[in-house]
Amino acid sequence: MVSIATTTKAEHLLESLQKAIVEGDLQPGEKLREPDLARSFGTSRGPLRDALRRLEARRLVLSTPNAGARVTSLSAQQLAELYQVREALEGTTCRLAATHMSDNDIDQLDHLLSQHEQAIKEAGGRRYFRQEGDLDFHYRIADRCGNALLRSAICVDYYPLMRMYRHKFSVHEGRPTRALSEHRRIWSALAERDGELAEILMRRHIAAARKIIEDSLLNETDHD
Partner DNA sequence: CGCCCCAATATTGTTGACAATTTTTCGATA
Partner DNA sequence: TATCGAAAAATTGTCAACAATATTGGGGCG
Q: Is 53 in the site for DNA (CB under 7 A)?
A: no
Of 3-11, 16-24, 106-114, 170-178, the segment contacting a second copy by CB under 8 A is 3-11
Residues facing residue 62 across a β-bridge: 70
- Residue 101 to residue 108: CA distance in whole angstroms: 11
For DNA, the closer of residues 63 and 216 by Cβ is 63
Applying CB under 8 A, among 11, 110, 136, 143 the residue interacting with a second copy is: 11
Q: In what order do the strands lie in the sheet with 68-71?
A: 31-32, 68-71, 61-64
Number of residues near a second copy (by CB under 8 A): 29
C-beta neighbour count of 22 within 10 angstroms: 18
Query: Judged by CB under 7 A, which of 19, 45, 121, 126 binds DNA?
Result: 45
Quick one: what does residue 178 bind among a second copy, DNA, none, with the CB cut-off 5 to 8 Å set by partner type? Answer: none
Name which of a second copy, DNA, none residue 53 binds, using a CB cut-off of 5 to 8 Å depending on partner kind. Answer: a second copy
Dist. CA 172–CA 161, nearest whole Å: 19
**Coil/strand/helix, residue 70:** strand
Under the criterion CB under 8 A, does residue 149 sit at the interface with a second copy? yes
Angle at CA of residue 137, ends 135 and 138, nearest 5°: 65
**Using rule CB under 8 A, residue 46 touches a second copy:** yes
Binding DNA by CB under 7 A: which of 20, 30, 34, 200? 34
49 touches a second copy (CB under 8 A): yes
Overall size of the chain counted in residues = 224
Show the CA angle centred on residue 64, arms to residues 58 and 65, nearest 5°: 125
- From the CB of 10, what's the least distance to DNA, in Å? 4
Rounded to an integer, what distance in angstroms lies between the CA atom of residue 113 and that of residue 141? 13
The piece of 22-30, 45-53, 170-178, 182-190 that touches a second copy (CB under 8 A) is: 45-53
List contacts with DNA (CB under 7 A).
Answer: 7-10, 31-36, 43-47, 49-50, 63, 65-69
